[in-house]
Structures are given as structure tokens and as C-alpha cells.
Amino acid sequence: MEANHMNGRVSPPSSSADGGTTAGSCSSLLQPNYSSRAVQEALEHLASVDLIELCSEAKVERCRATRDLRSCGRYVHYALNTCGHASLCSECSQRSDICPICRIPIPKNGNKLRLRLYYECIEAGLISKRCDERFQEKEDWENQLNADVERLYSLFDVAMENNLVSLICHCILNFFFLFIFFGCLWFNFILLLWKIFPVQKFF
């Protein structure tokens, strides 16, 4: 029985011939409990985001709060509910009054944070924790950028394994429209060059 996400219902993915599931490089080695609330909520969250949000959720973020005249720099697992920015670690969010990025005030009471989608999938067992530990070892900028891309692939793997058709179709449509958009820009650029530098001038 394959995993489906139709009208909010999710069922386990099909097993391979050797008893395992088809998985990406960072997928959880253990079979997630698809009846658990954590798995259901993680998959519903994944199905509801668009491509831009998905990239933001996959990006490695570090805490931007200032401690002793230096940036905190801890890895950020949570996003602020007020603005959605992943700008503060859980400890610094308790002491900060505003978001360091957009300066929107952070409420004193209530639920200030939500678990970011990538870590939500880890907590649900959809992505291996060892995968995240490997990404955190990449400190320089180039490797950090590669980690962002690999984390994005991990979320795509989860979507593919669980047949999240809405997310997959949305991403395909986005890539298609981007291709058409840049194709039109390139065509207009060629026409502009043609008008500025007619062909006969080159002969």
C-alpha cells in the first residue's frame, strides 16, 4: 500500500522486495509510525508549503542574537510565530523582545516558536538525525550552501516517498513557469539586440 496524501489522509509507503522502504540518502532508516500525530502533522505541513517557503525551511540558520558583543551563532531549530523568521535559538528567544531580522516585537507570553519543517520531519522520524549532524559539520560558506541544497533534497525525498502530489506538482509548475519566464526574457533580449544591431551591419 503506497503512501498517499489525499484529503489529509496519509498511509505508509510501499516496501521494497527486501522489506525496506524506498529511501533517499537522508531518509530515516526506521519505518516512521504513520499513525502518529507527529508524522501526520509533518506531512501536512510539508504538503502545504510552496517552493519559496520550502527553501527557507531547509536553509541552515544560526541565531542572530548578540551575546557579550558577539553573535550567538547556535543552530536555529525553531521559527518565530510572529513573523516566521528562523532568527533566534530557543534560549535567546526567551530573552529577546524583537526579531533581529524584521524587528517585529515578540510577545512575552504564549507560544513564541514553532519547530521548523526540516526538524519537524526529523522529530517525526521521516529524516535521519545523523543526516542533520553531518550537515552541522560543514562550517565554511561553500559547504554550508551545499548543506542547504542537500537538506532541500531531503524534504523532496520525503515528499516523493509519501506521494505528496500537491507539493510535487506545485514545484514542477514553478520550474515550468520560471523556464517560460526566462525564455521570454532571453527572446526579448535577442529581439532588442536585433533592433540595435541589424544583421546587415555585420556584412
Q: Alpha-carbon distance 61 to 141, whole Å?
A: 12
Domain boundaries, the chain: 5-11+25-202
pLDDT tens for each residue of 59-113 = 999 999 987 667 788 999 999 999 999 999 999 999 899 999 999 999 988 889 9
Strands 9-10 and 113-115: what pairing?
unpaired
* pLDDT at residue number 170: 62
